[in-house]
Structure 1
Amino acid sequence: MKLLVISDAPILYDKGTKQAYAPYVKEMDLWMSHVSHTTFIGPNEFSRPLLLKPFDRQDFELLPVKRLEYNRISTAIKSLINIPGQIQLLYKQMKKADHIHLRAPGNLAFLAGLVALSFSRKRISVKYAGNWDPNSKQPLSYRWQKRLFSSPKWSKNTNVMAYGQWKNQSENIVPFFTASYSKTDRKVFQKEFVSPIQIIFVGTLSKNKNPQLLIELIEGLHKHGISAQAHFYGDGPMMQQLKQHARTVMVTERSRSQPQSNPNAGSSLSTERSRSQPENVATPQSNPVSSLSTERSRSQVENRSVPQSNPVSSESREMDGHQNTRSSQQKSPSRTDRSRSKDNGAFTFHGNQPAEVVRKAYKQAHFVFLASQSEGWPKAVAEAMWHGCVPIASPVSCVPWMLNNNGDLDLKTLFIITLGQFEPVEDGLEANKLIVKSETPRGLIFTKINRTITDLQWLLNHQDHYQMMSQAAQTWSQQYTLEDFEKEIVKLLNHQT
């Protein structure tokens, strides 16, 4: 089978080796393993830093094109000039291909979608990695692409993979997912909800992700006497701005005097057990909110930056069957910057790190934070849930469905309505397994900082509920594995969906 992949994702050369953004490579290696020949059409240049990974298969053909951009007059003129040539290239390659795979949303995918109308008998799949929520506010070009791909003219031989499940969609829209881990990676992670609270951010430090809101949340927690620490994994244009912001955060005497675990001994204890099969999940639902509101108060304080041990690293126990083994203390990743306020190491900026380093951080964190304005499938949230982290996330795209929480109610009320009043349990790991239900919320919806602080205060006083959320999160996430993801790709290639 000849596969044609059309994407705005750049494929770059390094000493003759083809490489691209690591998650993109991981998925496309699966696609290429089931076809005889693959051709990529897309850019081969990119000016910003990327977390790169070489493709396992290097025998594919890359036909480079210029990126179509319309954010400035000069780039718009160049793009208009390039469009006729790109249309000819797309038409020629589509004619040769047995299966056409578009990666949307993007300007190149949009152009390819229009050209593909001439090949209605060809097998076509569209991976729409953006927000498919029909009620969300999106750029005009994104709305046009969704209308094009949902058109009845596409329905016959085309499948559009969209994240989440939405009502009133055309028959060719297929609810889809993305996987990061194998079935063999399934375990039960038991978190000890001890002070200081560990909150992790994983992703690009950009305006769309709103990482500054995590700094404000940490500041607000300290003002309410709750000791908390934030760890940022990733790089981006906001890095220096965030470091400067972190240096201005006031840590109150009350929160500093609160009992805390020794960072060198570990701030959260994670227990792992083999999981054979995840439980059933809740019925999807969604009620996205289009904007975030924050309540901020700033205080200036003398700052300094002092190296110290990684506050996320901790002693962990991994239980496989009935055997317990203690792992040695994790070493702090290299090139890690720590911004401190007074005597509390409240913020740590790790930069881009390998996947295994991030996985260790997931295991030791209590919460994962994501306040994006727009998402498709928030991979960092799904990965963190796999390891038992409870998400604190904005209600965009399929996030309310993932978290089993549309954000209408505060956490206390949500628990009372969904599960009823019940007594705290003594053994969180064993007893909570009996009462975790499909209705259990798997995360907190983030819309206002004060409301999130109230929810976290309530969880601190009801730690058995935190354990239930953590277990519900990992049960849901661990149903999406690389093996099942590959099976779905094969179905798409064979047009079986």
Structure 2
Amino acid sequence: MRFLVITSAPTLKTENGYEAYGPYVYEMDIWFKYAKEITILCPTSYPTDFFIKPFENQSINIIKAPYLETKTITGVLSLIWKIPFILFIITREMIRADHIHLRCPGNISLLGAVIQVFFPKKKKTAKYAGNWDPKSKQPLSYRFQKWILSNTILTKKIKVLVYGEWPGQTKNILPFFTASYWKSEMEEVIQREYDKKLIFLFIGTLSKGKRPLLTLQIIHELLKRGINCKLDVYGDGEQKEILIDFIKKNNLHTAIELHGNKNKEVVKAQLQKAHFLILPSVSEGWPKVIAEAMFWGCMPISNSVSCIPWMLGEDERGVLIPSDLDEIVNTLISEVNDTTRLQNKSNAAVKWSRKYTLDLFENKIKQIM
């Protein structure tokens, strides 16, 4: 089977072979097990550094697509020649493919979503990694991709894998999930002691959308109200200096520590012993770090975006927080004062998340392929 992947995620050629963004590679390694010939149509460079990992299967045919940049006048003008060229190579590769796989949302996958309309007899899948919530406010390009993929007249023979279960969806849409651990990796969960110092984690990119500064503000307010707690931050990004300034200004060196990017094993060790994970993102798809935290009994604290309320069973397996800082702090103080309820939530989180293993994920992918 000739398997074609169309994505905006860059694949880089390094001394280790073909490499791409780590979490993307972990997933695509599973898809590639069930393909005879693999072609990835994608950019082969990126303007900033990111965490990369080599693909297990290095027998990959890379079709270079220009990187689409729209933040400068030069970048916008370059679209005049880049878009026709990308449309041409997408069409050429779709003609050759047996199975077309779109990684959405993204600029190149948007073009792929348009061209696939002209291949109604080809088998297709699309992984929509963004927020599928029909009520959420999203860019026009994202809404267009969701519309064309859902449309059963324009888009045939496709399974669109989306995060969460949403009402009123067409037959094209398949509620899905992602996973981080195999069944063989399951270990006994450490029972937390909620009457001692509480350890909070923030794990993710230090970007405006992830709102790490809000996380620091929450911890600062909890400390001012007498809650014995500590925050460990794992990740890097554009807001790092802002966080450093906040820590200095409020003399929080002993309560908040920035660790930078760490590997999977280091993160796992922290999730196994911390009490809470805070993720107050503006938007998410399937937040893997929340599922990973739940897997080890580390209770997630997050807001009601995308499929997070479904993952948390509303408030049964975690804490859903409001948008106002004072209300967030009041909610958390109420939660930490009920240790029995916290333990029940932690146990429920473990039970739910351990259903979604890589074993199940691979089995589902095999069925789809």
Question: Normalised by the size of structure 1, how large is the TM-score?
Answer: 0.72
Structure 1 match to 2:196: 195
For 1:367 and 1:16, how far apart are their aligned partners in 2? 36
| TM superposition shift of 1:223 | 1.2
Look up the SS of the partner of 2:245 in the other structure.
Answer: helix
1:31 is aligned to 2:11: no
Structure 2 match to 1:427: none
| TM superposition shift of 1:454 | 2.3
Superposed CA RMSD: 1.4
| Residue pair 1:390, 1:444 contacting (<8 A) in 2 also | no
**Which is further off, 235-244 or 180-189?**
180-189
1:356 is aligned to 2:271: no
Quick one: percent identity of the two aligned structures? 40
Structure 2 match to 1:385: 294
The residue identity in structure 2 corresponding to 1:70 is: T
Structure 1 match to 2:213: 212
Deviations 1:65-119 (A, max 9, x none): 1122323332111123111111111111111111000000001000011111110
Structure 2 match to 1:456: 332
More helix by share: 2
For 2:336 and 2:188, how far apart are their aligned partners in 1? 21
The residue identity in structure 2 corresponding to 1:447 is: S
1:59 is aligned to 2:59: yes
| Residue pair 2:70, 2:76 contacting (<8 A) in 1 also | yes
Look up the SS of the partner of 1:465 in the other structure.
Answer: helix
| TM superposition shift of 1:446 | 4.2
For 1:86 and 1:376, how far apart are their aligned partners in 2? 26
The residue identity in structure 2 corresponding to 1:93 is: E
For 1:16 and 1:183, how far apart are their aligned partners in 2? 29
| Residue pair 1:20, 1:53 contacting (<8 A) in 2 also | yes
Match of 1:398 among 307, 322, 346: 307
1:443 is aligned to 2:315: no
Residue ranges of structure 1 left out of the alignment (5+ in a row): 250-302, 304-338, 407-439
Look up the SS of the partner of 1:144 in the other structure.
Answer: helix
For 2:338 and 2:124, how far apart are their aligned partners in 1? 50
> How many equivalent pairs are there?
368
Deviations 1:431-454 (A, max 9, x none): xxxxxxxxx343333423323322
Structure 2 match to 1:267: none
| TM superposition shift of 1:154 | 4.7
For 1:152 and 1:461, how far apart are their aligned partners in 2? 51
For 2:148 and 2:71, how far apart are their aligned partners in 1? 22
Structure 1 match to 2:230: 229
Deviations 1:205-245 (A, max 9, x none): 00010000111001110111112111111111111111111
The residue identity in structure 1 corresponding to 2:105 is: P
Change in Cα spacing, 1:86 to 1:156, as seen in structure 2 (3 Å) is closer
The residue identity in structure 2 corresponding to 1:450 is: D
Structure 2 match to 1:147: 147
Structure 2 match to 1:294: none
| TM superposition shift of 1:487 | 1.1
Match of 1:487 among 359, 363, 369: 363
For 1:67 and 1:165, how far apart are their aligned partners in 2? 33
For 2:322 and 2:57, how far apart are their aligned partners in 1? 41
For 1:191 and 1:16, how far apart are their aligned partners in 2? 41
| TM superposition shift of 1:389 | 1.1
| Residue pair 2:301, 2:318 contacting (<8 A) in 1 also | no
Residue ranges of structure 2 left out of the alignment (5+ in a row): none
Structure 2 match to 1:376: 285
Structure 2 match to 1:17: 17
Change in Cα spacing, 1:64 to 1:16, as seen in structure 2 (3 Å) is farther
For 1:237 and 1:458, how far apart are their aligned partners in 2? 33
Structure 2 match to 1:318: none
| Residue pair 2:277, 2:290 contacting (<8 A) in 1 also | yes
